[in-house]
Every structure is written in C-alpha cells, then in structure tokens.
Amino acid sequence: MLGQLAQAGLDVLDDERLADAIIVNTCGFIDAAKAESINTLIELGALKTRGRCKTLIATGCLTQRYQRELLDELPELDAVVGTGDFPRIAEIVQSRWAQDAPKAPQQYFDHPTFLYDATTPRRRIGPRHWAYIKISEGCDKRCAFCAIPSFRGDLASRPTESIVREVRHLVADGVREAVLIAQDLPAFGTDRGHKGALLDLLKRLIAIDGLTWIRLMYLYPHKLPSALVDLLANEPKLCPYVEIPLQHIDDAILRRMNRGGTSDEIRRLLDTVRAKVPEVGIRTSFIVGFPGETDREFDRLLAFVEEQRFDRLGVFAYSAEEGTSAARLGDPVAPEVKAERRQRLLDVQFEIAQEKGEALVGSRRSGLFDGPSPEAQFAREGRMATQAPEIDGVVYFSEAVAEPGEFVEVDVTEAVGYDLVATARPVHRALPMLGARS
C-alpha cells in the first residue's frame, strides 16, 4: 500500500496528527488482534474532529471478515477496503478528496485475493538488509480453530519467476536475508499442480549472488517433505531454522483441532530435523484451552515442552472464532484457566531458553549485524541464523561492530533470557551460520 501511495505522489507521514487521510491495516485472526484493531480505529477516528484528518480508511483482514459490521459499528470510517482491493488504495484516497466525493462511507470488496508480483510498487520501511517475501495467499487446510480460509480464501501461489525477480530486485537494493512467508509454506505451488514447487523455488533463490540467508517461516508439520529437510541440512544459504506450529501434542486434541498427524509423527519429525540439521533452531506455537482440554491433556503438552526443549515458543489462549468448526464446541475452558496454563508453558520455556543461552556463553558463532537496538537505549544488536527478525531474541553489543547488513563473528559473553550479549568483529564473507556446516 505504501508503494501504491508513493507512486501516486502522495506523501506518507510518520505523524498521524498531520495527515489528511489515515489508513489502518487491521488484523482479524483472534480476539486480541481484533480488539486492538478496533481500538486503534476509534482512537484515530478522534482526529477527524480535533486534527487534520478528513478521511479514515480501514483495510486488512478485519475488514474482509466483517465488512458491513465495521461500517455499522464505527461511524468514523469513510471507507472499508478488502484484502484483495488494496492495490486501489491511492485511487480510493483520492476519490474521497474529490469535489463530488460521496458523503456516505464506501465499501471495496470486488477481489477476494490479490497476489502482488515483482512489478508491484513497494516501499520498504524496515531495515535495508532483510525483507519479507510473501509467496502465497490463503490456505487449503481446515484447522478447526482457524478462520483464515474464510476471509483469505484457498491457497493461491505466486508464479516462481515472479518471486525470483522480486528477490533479485531486493538483493540489488541491499537485502541479504530473505524471509519467506505464507499461511502454509510447504503447500506452495500445489494449487498449480506442482508438488515440488517450494524446492524448485529455493534452488532458484539459492543461486542468486549476494543473497546470504534464506529463512522459512510457517512450515505446516503434517507431511513436511523430507526433501526439504535434506535441503536444509546441506545448503548453507538456508538458515538452520524452522518454524513449525504444532498447536498441541495430545492426540485427542489434535484430532479435534483437525490438524492431521499424531503425536508419534510429530516426535519423529522433530527427531529427523534435529538428526539431519544438528544446530537447528526450532520455533513452534501452541494453543491452550482448546474446547474440552483437560488437566491431563494440558499436562501432556507441558511435559512435551520440557522434553523437547524448543528454542523459541509462542503460546495462544484459545479464542472461539465464529465460522470455525471449533466454535460449535463452545468455549468451556474458563479464561483464568487458559491464562494460567499459558503462563505455565511460558515460564517453563523461559527457563529452557535461559539454559540454552548459558550453554552458548564462551562460544564463537556467526551472525548478522542489524544496527541500533529499538528496544535497548545505546545498545546495538544483531542475530544469529537461529534468530528470526522481530519475533525471536537478539544478540546485544555495546557498540557498533559493523555496518547494518554485514556479517560478524560473535563471541557470546552472557545470556539474558531469550537474548544474548556478545562481542564481535566484522568479517567480509559469509561464515558458516552456526559453525556446524561447511
């Protein structure tokens, strides 16, 4: 959207109080995200009476999911734009400013899905040396708790050539780490009848000069291709890092979640990944308080986390989402029970992360220097290949040790929860990412 607005000659500001139009990109995945989106719209809507704002627009998943409801509940809105119509965002903004602009709020939901390509305008606002690349939209899975297919639709993959061209452009602009994202990454290309499309894409990306790290996010665990694990094991450009959202380990819960696979299959998958990629960092996520989750079923999950010692872990308290099959089960687990179970998992994981960090003290690793820390004043930060940007821990430095986007050798000196403290010196070549692979 920023690319579209900039191409149309509109100035994008970083202070909403000075803006003539405000666009809020919403999330509609779970209750907490929906509440945050709505509260933001209400807060910014106040600027229409005490600021410069004349136009307030909502777009994103919440608008796609609750089209008419948003206009009925939020009179501050001038337009709601669906997830497939955001390429029209500049036209929509300008139409609201025209002399003959309609007084009533407008809806734009003509296209359920939009797949951007290498020619789509893009204005990146994050660090210059890494970038997200979305390779597909939608999902063919039907997990009982998930509403995404109802508003994002079924899987729709981008053409491989479009992705390769985009990454080449990004590398020419300074990107060294490409983070591939999708609702279901391993399914890429299957909607086009090509089951090996993800492997083919990765091999094309690996061949791009100047691209040093390729990170894979959201690997659905059921029937994860063994050839993908082999490629992770043997290709230095692929970060030894996997994000595998397991959601639970109890077989009865997994069946009710409609996840596919069993607890034994999950354990075999994790054993295989660790055996083939010994230095791998594994991130996963779990849902607690799914309808009918008993103390015994939760205890199995807790024991599983203690057993597996994941590197990173996210925990969600179950949210009953209308339109999902799980919503028909009711929401019998009390909110305070969900909160207590979530905290117990997080407490166990924090101890595991601290122990894993302490085991790294005194070792030398390689990493990517990111620059000034947005979290710690006066500190600088970077990441090892087992730390994804924005969601995982970081490596802190007391001073600048390189230019952002350069690779450094890291001597770990301290572990602080999910983060590390280190000294470093720059290198001018891509090092083995964790010292275990040549």
Query: Considering the domain boundaries, does residue 117 fall inside one?
Result: no
The answer to whether the CB of 396 falls within 8 A of the CB of 381 is: yes
Strand-pair category, 407-416 with 156-157: unpaired
Q: What are the residues whose beta carbons fall under 8 Å from the beta carbon of 169, sequence distance 6 or more? A: 118
325 and 339 share one domain: yes
- Percent helix, percent strand, percent coil in the chain, to nearest 5: 35, 20, 45
Flag the least confident range among 96-105, 155-164, 236-245.
96-105
Per DSSP, the three-state class of 327 is: helix
**Is the torsion defined by CA of 264, 267, 273, 276 positive or negative?**
negative
166 and 101 share one domain: no
pLDDT in the model for residue 438: 30
Q: What are the residues whose beta carbons fall under 8 Å from the beta carbon of 4, sequence distance 6 or more? A: 86, 87, 88, 89, 90, 121
Query: Considering the domain boundaries, does residue 267 fall inside one?
Result: yes
Is a pLDDT exceeding 90 seen at residue 53? no
195 and 283 share one domain: yes
* Residue 424 pLDDT class (50, 70, 90 cuts): confident
Is a pLDDT exceeding 60 seen at residue 243? yes
The predicted model gives 170-178 an average pLDDT of: 94
Rounded Cα distance between 381 and 398, Å, is 9
The predicted model gives 266-283 an average pLDDT of: 95
Task: Say which CATH number the domain at 54 has.
Answer: 3.40.50.12160
The predicted model gives 147-162 an average pLDDT of: 89
The predicted model gives 353-372 an average pLDDT of: 91
Query: Considering the domain boundaries, does residue 7 fall inside one?
Result: yes
pLDDT in the model for residue 427: 57
Out of 73, 108, 143, a domain closes at 108
Strand-pair category, 380-384 with 241-243: unpaired
How many domains is the chain built from?
Answer: 3
The answer to whether the CB of 85 falls within 8 A of the CB of 114 is: yes
pLDDT in the model for residue 434: 41
pTM of the model: 0.88
Rounded Cα distance between 163 and 147, Å, is 27
311 and 394 share one domain: no
* Residue 287 pLDDT class (50, 70, 90 cuts): very high
Q: What are the residues whose beta carbons fall under 8 Å from the beta carbon of 426, sequence distance 6 or more? A: 369, 401, 402, 403, 406, 407, 408
Query: Considering the domain boundaries, does residue 287 fall inside one?
Result: yes
Overall residue count recorded for the chain in this entry: 438
419 and 296 share one domain: no
Query: Considering the domain boundaries, does residue 122 fall inside one?
Result: no
Query: Considering the domain boundaries, does residue 434 fall inside one?
Result: no
Flag the least confident range among 105-114, 197-206, 292-301, 405-414.
105-114
277 and 350 share one domain: yes
Structure-block tokens of residue 89: 């965002």
pLDDT in the model for residue 30: 74
By residue range, what is the domain housing residue 326? Answer: 130-359
90 and 148 share one domain: no
Mean of the per-residue pLDDT values of the chain: 89
295 and 313 share one domain: yes
* Residue 426 pLDDT class (50, 70, 90 cuts): low
* Residue 67 pLDDT class (50, 70, 90 cuts): confident
Rounded Cα distance between 126 and 405, Å, is 12
Task: Say which CATH number the domain at 283 has.
Answer: 3.80.30.20
Query: Considering the domain boundaries, does residue 158 fall inside one?
Result: yes
Structure-block tokens of residue 398: 């007391």
The predicted model gives 142-157 an average pLDDT of: 89
* Residue 309 pLDDT class (50, 70, 90 cuts): very high
pLDDT in the model for residue 435: 36
Task: Say which CATH number the domain at 404 has.
Answer: 2.40.50.140
Out of 308, 334, 359, a domain closes at 359
In 142-280, where do the E strands start and end?
Answer: 156-157, 177-181, 213-216, 241-243
Cα–Cα distances in angstroms (integers) from residue 20 to residues 52, 94, 99, 351, in the given order = 5, 11, 15, 48
The predicted model gives 366-393 an average pLDDT of: 89
Q: Encode pLDDT of 76-113 as tens digits.
A: 899 899 888 888 899 999 988 887 777 788 888 887 77
387 and 251 share one domain: no
354 and 369 share one domain: no
Is a pLDDT exceeding 60 seen at residue 432? no
pLDDT in the model for residue 199: 95
Of 1-10, 104-113, 218-227, 347-356, give the range with the top mean pLDDT: 347-356
Rounded Cα distance between 409 and 389, Å, is 18
145 and 63 share one domain: no
60 and 102 share one domain: yes
Query: Considering the domain boundaries, does residue 118 fall inside one?
Result: no
Is a pLDDT exceeding 90 seen at residue 260? no
pLDDT in the model for residue 436: 36
pLDDT in the model for residue 168: 96
